[in-house]
Structure 1
């Protein structure tokens, strides 16, 4: 759990960069990729990550410009990636201007439970990690090159002249 905002900002910087890499690798054609008709498309998952910044952090009362939860999924991958870039920067700026380390201890109703802001921020990170994992599977199914996030992806191993790990 976070006790200092700067600790969150350090972790978030790595995670938002990883999410942005995944979003930037999407193509318009890949947005409709899904496992089955009963599951979210790649575009819907990507948009969910974008709008969750507004939805989750909005429960704290923090005001910032962001793509709104419930807005329809854009038609292009570029719009989704740019919306994340904009929403994320707006969120971080608002946090830095309005929150202190003490804000982390404040509690807010989140989905029928009381969560501290510190808890919310940890969940925000794990939520992104969770859905990025789902997205990378759909990206492979759509024939996209998946960028490495916590280390090289298969194609990046080859580009480095190294043998990828065994399958």
Structure 2
């Protein structure tokens, strides 16, 4: 039953993420609001990459970020990022569908080279916080970046500002 709820939210939010990533223009990829922040391309690539974390998070009780190989792919074109997203989201959906609900309450930890990064917690809490909410957070950042470049952004949870101003 929990798995069906996770899949439902996953599918709904993957579509929202797809709508957002589809609105990125190549001309916006290098924009960053401040020098220390990720560019639009880096942020969008990170969003696409988080879907790669579903496999190790669901299948293992420890995720070692120290040995994880981040694969941002070619972020020189928005279409490349969207393609990476599509590949990763399909794999993540399969991971959820094949997951074992009896493992959802297992204690899960994240480390880097044996050093804890996050406190141990039930895997279901990690799935909701580290995977799902993490993506929503970065989508919000990406929306702010895109708005600052003058690009349009999609409505995700009802009309966006532009749509609400139409008479």
Q: What's the TM-score, normalizing by structure 2?
A: 0.81
Answer whether contact 1:59 1:110 (CA < 8 A) is retained: no
Residue in 2 that maps onto 1:50: 48
Q: Match of 1:116?
A: 122
RMSD after superposition: 2.0
- Number of aligned residues: 152
1:134 pairs with 2:141: yes
Q: Which runs of 5+ in 1 are unaligned?
A: 63-67, 163-167
Match of 1:7 in 2: 5
Q: CA offsets per residue over residues 88-130 of structure 1, 9 Å max, x none?
A: 1111112212x12212112222242223221121111111111
Q: Mark the CA change 1:60 to 1:94 in structure 2 (over 3 Å): closer, same or farther.
A: closer
| Equivalent-residue separation in structure 2 for 1:84 and 1:29 (angstroms) | 19
Length-normalised TM-score, structure 1: 0.81
For 2:95 and 2:147, locate their aligned partners in 1 and report how far apart those are by CA, in whole Å.
35
**CA deviation after TM superposition for structure 1 residue 48, in Å:** 0.8
Structure 2 unpaired stretches of 5+: 61-68
Residue aligning to 2:85: 84
Following superposition, the deviation at residue 6 of structure 1 comes to 0.8
Q: CA deviation at 1:72?
A: 4.8
On the 8 A contact 2:108/2:126 being kept in 1, the answer is no
What's the counterpart of residue 21 of structure 1?
19
Contact 1:54 1:69 in 2 (8 A): no
Give the Cα separation in 2 of the matches to 1:155 and 1:46.
22
Measured in 1, the distance between the counterparts of 2:95 and 2:73 equals 25
User: Aligned equivalents of 1:19 and 1:28: distance in 2?
Assistant: 17
Higher strand share: 2
Counterpart residue number, 1:35: 33
Contact in 1 for aligned 2:73/2:84 (Cα 8 Å): no
